[in-house]
């Protein structure tokens, strides 16, 4: 195994541990992390671990009545393990998080495709694509486009071909608005309220921003924002999504 492969495996283990703590660590549960854990286990073809993680997530929901998006995530991970489009559809309609709805809708599309229901798969993948487009998540849009192409459907390319992968210029408009609000000292909950997004969607965007800018704290992020030409007041404009 090469040094790069060792580093990658170490990173994956650290990421999984972070996600486990996020979901089961005793603080406010993170629905999106629960879904990522199960998706990761399934991607590794470890269905036993995926089922175990899904069961743990559902137990967390049962122990926390009124858990909101976590309840949707409990259904989402069960639908992933069982490849049940109906359960995934229910999760998609139950999420308040736009990101959660997009993920569950995409997964429902793939479950339909696995069952041979091409028309239902295409409908759900188109819907997921539209949701990702609202969120300006280019890599998710690329993935859904590829999945639609596999079903024989072409989608007009809406890309960031001129945008680099890392650095300030790599940020989407939504990500920049979030950065400027962080620089003004707002919490994730305050940013979510201002931008009409869920707290978990803001956290998702911030994880992407930290990676793109290679920072590890909000202080570093604020310092980078202060070096840019754009005024923080730009961030005070509503994001335009619900």
- For the chain, give the DSSP string: --HHHHHHHHHHHHHHHHHHHHHHSSSS--HHHHHHHHHHHHHTT-HHHHHHHHHHHHHHHHTSTT-THHHHHHHHHHHHHHT-HHHHHHHHHH-SSHHHHHHHHHHHHHHHHHTT-HHHHHHHHHHHHHHHHHHT-HHHHHHHHHHHHHTT--------TTS-SSSGGG--HHHHHHHHHHHTT--HHHHHHHHT--HHHHHHHHHHHHHHHT--SHHHHHHHHHTSSS-GGGGGS--S--
- Check whether 193 has a pLDDT greater than 90: no
pTM value is 0.65
- Residue 168, pLDDT score: 86
pLDDT digit string (tens) for 79-94?
A: 999 999 999 999 999 9
For each of the domains in the chain, give its residue range(s) and CATH number, in order of start: 3-150 (1.25.40.10), 168-236 (1.10.10.10)
Which tops the pLDDT comparison, 83 or 3?
83
Query: Mean pLDDT lowest for which of 5-19, 104-118, 174-188, 204-218?
Result: 5-19
pLDDT-derived band at 75, boundaries 50, 70, 90:
very high
Mean pLDDT of 103-128: 93
* pLDDT one-digit tens code per residue, 47-71: 888 888 888 888 777 766 556 788 8
């Amino acid at each position: 195994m090469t040094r790069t492969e060792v580093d990658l495996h170490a990173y994956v283990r650290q990421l999984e541990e972070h996600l486990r703590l996020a979901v089961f660590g005793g603080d406010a549960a993170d629905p999106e992390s629960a879904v990522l854990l199960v998706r990761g286990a399934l991607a590794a073809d470890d269905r036993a671990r995926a089922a175990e993680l899904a069961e743990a997530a559902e137990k967390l929901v049962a122990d926390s009545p009124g858990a909101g998006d976590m309840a949707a995530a409990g259904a989402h991970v069960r639908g992933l393990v069982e490849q049940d489009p109906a359960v995934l559809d229910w999760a998609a309609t139950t999420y308040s998080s736009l990101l959660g709805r997009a993920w569950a809708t995409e997964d429902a599309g793939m479950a339909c495709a696995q069952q041979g229901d091409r028309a239902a798969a295409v409908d759900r993948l188109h819907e997921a694509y539209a949701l990702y487009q609202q969120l300006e998540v280019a890599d998710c849009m690329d993935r859904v486009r590829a999945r639609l192409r596999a079903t024989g459907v072409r989608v007009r390319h809406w890309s960031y071909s001129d945008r680099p992968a890392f650095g300030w210029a790599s940020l989407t408009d939504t990500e920049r608005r979030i950065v400027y609000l962080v620089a003004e000292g707002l919490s994730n909950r305050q940013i979510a309220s201002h931008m009409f997004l869920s707290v978990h969607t803001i956290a998702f965007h911030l994880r992407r921003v930290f990676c793109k800018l290679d920072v590890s704290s909000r202080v570093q992020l604020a310092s980078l924002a202060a070096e840019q030409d754009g005024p923080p007041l730009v961030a005070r404009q509503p994001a335009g999504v619900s």
